[in-house]
């Protein structure tokens, strides 16, 4: 009779690490995009003939950050209009408080696109809208978000052609936070975020509170971050100004003066933010995941 096979200790540890690493991957593969769509959500679709200015006002009125674009001539969705587009437009055409931005006042969404890619200003991800089926797995959705370096992925019904939802990193993480409790916690979430390399620890994009709002828009465009720590003369963080705060300029109709200081821009925000929600390098990933995330976003 042969003795039972034994697994060496190093090999057993390797198998445990391998299983540990696939916990969340298997979770995402076992759930489809439809599962992550909330029971009730708001969705706005813009026709490309709509004026750019009205489109941004509509985003503000509905508390949204993006909307799919429908081309009535082509009878299909051709792209997304986002806060990033608003930032790019302001950054490109702003001259001074004395010069009105007629481009923002007069153009329709379709005229921003132009007849060739050389004239495109509202940058679409390509000649087609990157989307996903509600039956596709969340793993496929995450792969698309990473592959195409996008933040929003429309979920489109393949039969009706209707947009059902706009899937984001935040929505996927929220779904994982709610339903991921049913799966065993991988060991790595008990490690420190600095050790895991999660977050930005070097060359952090910041803006001085004495800098102008246009300076901040330049940093948003150049560094492609989702929020900027506003710092004082001593380098201390006094506030956080996010991309979503920029869209409020449309609501307040104050986008014609971007020469105000960041201190004033923070003061004018419509939503009140008490302090800055923060974390520390030596905190574990588990601690941060469980922390309420009602505050503004961080570095992209």
pLDDT for position 6: 53
235 pLDDT more than 80: yes
99 pLDDT more than 80: no
Tokens of 153: 């992925």
- Residues in Cβ contact with 76 at an 8 Å cutoff, skipping those fewer than 6 apart: 70, 129, 161
Give yes or no for a contact between 296 and 245, defined as CB atoms under 8 angstroms apart: yes
What is the 3-state composition of the chain as percent helix, strand, coil, each rounded to the nearest 5?
Answer: 40, 15, 45
The DSSP code for 137 is B
* Reported confidence tier of residue 254, pLDDT bands at 50, 70, 90: confident
Q: Which of 95-104, 127-136, 259-268 has the lowest mean pLDDT?
A: 95-104
For residues 110 and 196, give the distance between their C-alpha atoms in angstroms, rounded to a whole number. 44
pLDDT for position 275: 59
């Amino acid at each position: 009779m042969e003795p039972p096979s034994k697994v060496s200790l190093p090999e057993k540890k390797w198998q445990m690490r391998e299983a540990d690493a696939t916990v969340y991957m298997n979770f995402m593969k076992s759930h489809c995009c439809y599962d992550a769509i909330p029971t009730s959500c708001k969705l706005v679709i813009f026709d490309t003939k709509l004026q750019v200015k009205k489109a941004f006002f509509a985003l503000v009125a509905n508390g949204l950050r993006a909307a799919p674009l429908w081309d009535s001539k082509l009878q299909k969705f051709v792209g997304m209009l986002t806060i990033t587009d608003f930032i790019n437009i302001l950054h490109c055409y702003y001259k001074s408080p004395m010069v009105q931005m007629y481009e923002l006042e007069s153009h329709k969404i379709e005229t921003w696109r132009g007849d060739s890619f050389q004239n495109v200003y509202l940058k679409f991800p390509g000649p087609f809208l990157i989307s996903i089926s509600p039956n596709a797995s969340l793993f496929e959705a995450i792969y698309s978000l990473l592959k195409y370096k996008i933040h929003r992925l429309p979920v489109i019904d393949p039969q009706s052609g209707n947009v059902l939802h706009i899937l984001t990193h935040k929505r996927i993480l929220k779904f994982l936070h709610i339903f991921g409790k049913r799966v065993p916690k991988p060991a790595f979430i008990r490690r420190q975020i600095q050790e895991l390399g999660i977050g930005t620890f070097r060359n952090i994009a910041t803006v001085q509170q004495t800098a102008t709002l246009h300076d901040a828009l330049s940093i948003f465009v150049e560094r492609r971050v989702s929020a900027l720590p506003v710092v004082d003369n001593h380098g201390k963080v006094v506030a956080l100004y996010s991309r979503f705060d920029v869209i409020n300029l449309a609501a307040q109709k104050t986008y014609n003066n971007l020469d105000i200081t960041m201190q004033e821009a923070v003061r004018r925000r419509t939503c009140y933010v008490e302090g800055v929600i923060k974390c520390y390098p030596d905190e574990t990933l588990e601690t941060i995941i469980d922390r309420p995330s009602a505050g503004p976003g961080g570095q992209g």
